[in-house]
Amino acid sequence: MNINPLWYKNAIFYQIYPRSFYDSNGDGYGDFQGIIQKLDYVRNLGTDCIWLMPTYKSPLKDDGYDISDFYGVFEPFGTLDDLKQLFNEIHQRGMRVITDLVLNHCSDQHPWFQSARKDPNSKYRNYFVWSDTDTKYQGTRIIFVDSQESNWTWDEEAGAYYWHRFYPSQPDLNYDNPEVHEEMKNVMRYWLNLGIDGFRADAVPYLFEREGTINENLPETHAYLKEIRKMMDLEFPGTILLCEANQWPRDVREYFGDGDEFQLGFHFPLMPRIFMSIGKQDASSLVQIMQETPEIPENCQWSTFLRNHDELTLEMVSEEDRQWMWAFYAPQKEMRLNLGIRRRLYPLLDNDRKKIGLAFSLIFTLPGSPVLYYGDEIGMGDNINLFDRNGVRTPMQWDDTKNGGFSTADRTYLPAITDEKYGYQNVNVMQQEDDPDSNLNWLRRLIRIRKASEALGEGELEWITTGSEVKVLAYIRRSENDLVYVIHNMSDYPMHFQLDFEPGIYTDLIQPDFTIAGNRDTELDLNPRIFYWLQRKKSIG
Ligand code: GLC
């Protein structure tokens, strides 16, 4: 295992949704033993760290993000021993593992909430946020806009309203209660003691409420997050926190603190701009957001990503851009959800290797540790007829047998994709393993190349392209021993381009037979939607 304490700054993360990964016992649910069986596959992709989505006990009203026992495991996944074995087997293969930490809320089935709603004198009453009216905190937005009208729900039994930023089945915990602070730290200690390497911390902007604010990113929230980081550094040195804050770059910046809050933070605003740049054949919005992205502390890193288990969120774009994204990428209304798009990577980009290549190139060459979503490496499709976000959470397609080889059950938790273009009959791991040009082997190669370049992994970013219309997007990544010019032709026509290179011989890392002598005003011809990772040859002697 990479023992560099800053390993996470240059790592490939792979997100696993346990329910849909591999079912080892034929009950229709993915499980821990199933994941164990597929760990060699995950490692062979180039994964350094697995992000394991929620495995806690849950009534599944929000697919495991509604936790009814923070110390329990969801039974169909297996036992705690199975989970411990999974952690061990991941480590044995030289990978790390982080799990989801849901601080903001629990399930309404959690004994804390059950006791709180029943008994006003219960100590758990104060674990939640209650009110006699539903008019407090008016400045707060609603996140699940398609299905929720209020962040307050009346509870008959309690005779009061309770506060929730997500579904009513997910009451928010009350961070004004110090007992909640300790309670959640103990939950963290429990899992860290089992040997995990850290957490992907869910929905962190919403921990505290203060009248007259938007109730996001409050100073009190940052103070608590710093407190948990301090605990982790002291008691579990080397463990990491990855921040899910769907916010503007300047607000996410705050979650890195002075290097004493989160080590990693998803770059939410970049993600939709990658799709916009490819769709519009103009990367100006991407350049702009990257230029608005503040510097972060030395020990921190961005997490770049294209898709995940949620809708492709359009919260961090303007209304005009949102309408454009919907019209372009979600022409049918079933493709839309809340302020986003519930589709997978390959269908979004027309199954077109060139467009998908641009997208991966961007997350592999802009500063950050890329996070890949299971199934995107083989080009899985989606099923927009399924409820909520389930359409992008369907079973992993391992081979062309029943249920795509995911399960032998007659009925699986979610149906596997079977349509002609993306169904498991045609899109599956087994078939792609043997084909050197398959989506899987192509991506493996890209990952290998990215990992071999010091500059792409940890170099400084320098912009070459600016301007109001960016057809050719070019930037430099520079580290102590490595220099790479990254160039994308975003358009679908050939481009002729002049670039000032620092003198040297440059070789494309993707197509090593392409070599140029770089100098001032070097002329380049770029085919449509092509990208170069031009690395300067080291001078010999
Ligand atoms: C995060 C998760 C999402 C979940 C929500 C509430 O945004 O990614 O899936 O619904 O938090 O926990």
What 3 state SS string does 5-22 have? CCHHHHCCEEEECHHHCC
The Cβ-side half-sphere exposure at 490, using a 13 Å CA radius, reads 24
Q: Is the CB of 65 under 6 A from ligand 1?
A: yes
Distance CA 430, CA 428 (A): 6
Q: Which of 58, 151, 202, 313 to mutate to test the pocket of ligand 1 (most atoms within 8 A of CB)?
A: 202
Give the Å distance between the CA of 280 and the centre of ligand 1. 29
Distance CA 8, CA 369 (A): 7
DSSP state of 123: G
Confidence (pTM): 0.98
Q: DSSP E strands: which ranges in 314-458?
A: 336-337, 340-341, 369-373
CB of 300 within 8 A of CB of 369? no
Give catalytic status of residue 311 as yes or no: no
The residue contributing the CA closest to ligand 1 atom 12 is 65
Distance CA 399, CA 521 (A): 50
Residue among 56, 98, 64 nearest 170 (CA): 64
| pLDDT at position 541 | 43
Distance CA 420, CA 347 (A): 13
Distance CA 353, CA 359 (A): 10
CA angle 403, 406, 412 (to 5 degrees): 60
Reduced to 3 states (helix: H, G, I; strand: E, B; else coil), residue 253 is helix
Distance CA 249, CA 402 (A): 44
Q: Which of 15, 56, 65, 147 to mutate to test the pocket of ligand 1 (most atoms within 8 A of CB)?
A: 65
| pLDDT at position 539 | 66
Q: Is the CB of 124 under 6 A from ligand 1?
A: no
The residue contributing the CA closest to ligand 1 atom 4 is 65
Q: Report in angstroms the alpha-carbon separations of 519 from 168, 345, 481, 522.
A: 61, 37, 19, 6
Give catalytic status of residue 334 as yes or no: no
Nearest ligand 1 atom to alpha carbon 246: 7
Q: Is the CB of 166 under 6 A from ligand 1?
A: yes
> Which one of 202, 216, 315, 377 is the catalytic residue?
202
Distance CA 335, CA 341 (A): 6
Contact partners, residue 539, CB within 8 Å, separation at least 6: 504
| pLDDT at position 519 | 95
Burial letters 319-351, b for 16+ CB under 10 A, else e: eebbebbbeebbeeeebbbbbbbbbbbbbbbeb
Q: Is the CB of 53 under 6 A from ligand 1?
A: no
Q: Is the CB of 335 under 6 A from ligand 1?
A: no
Q: Which of 61, 62, 63, 104 to mutate to test the pocket of ligand 1 (most atoms within 8 A of CB)?
A: 62
Give the Å distance between the CA of 169 and the centre of ligand 1. 13
Residue among 30, 17, 25 nearest 413 (CA): 30
Distance CA 501, CA 517 (A): 9
Residue among 16, 50, 45, 14 nearest 31 (CA): 16
Q: Give me the numbers of helices (H) and strands (E) for the chain, helices first please.
A: 15, 24
Give the Å distance between the CA of 432 and the centre of ligand 1. 32
Give the Å distance between the CA of 167 and the centre of ligand 1. 10
Q: Is the CB of 176 under 6 A from ligand 1?
A: no
Q: Is the CB of 203 under 6 A from ligand 1?
A: yes
- The H or E element containing residue 322 is helix 319-329
What is the dihedral angle through the alpha carbons of 225, 460, 98, 100, rounded to the nearest 10 degrees?
Answer: 50
> Which one of 31, 172, 216, 244 is the catalytic residue?
244
Give the Å distance between the CA of 203 and the centre of ligand 1. 6
Give the Å distance between the CA of 476 and the centre of ligand 1. 35
Q: Kind of pairing, strands 56-57 and 69-73?
A: antiparallel
Residue among 151, 235, 156, 167 nearest 198 (CA): 235
Structure-block tokens of residue 261: 């809050």
CB of 485 within 8 A of CB of 506? yes
- The H or E element containing residue 328 is helix 319-329
What is the dihedral angle through the alpha carbons of 440, 442, 447, 452, rounded to the nearest 10 degrees?
Answer: 140
- Cα-Cα end-to-end distance for the chain: 33
- Report mean pLDDT in 10-residue bins for the chain, 541 residues: 90 98 98 98 98 98 98 98 98 98 98 97 98 97 96 98 98 98 98 98 98 98 98 98 98 98 98 98 97 97 98 98 98 97 98 98 98 98 97 98 98 97 98 97 98 96 87 97 97 94 97 96 96 88 43
The residue contributing the CA closest to ligand 1 atom 2 is 202
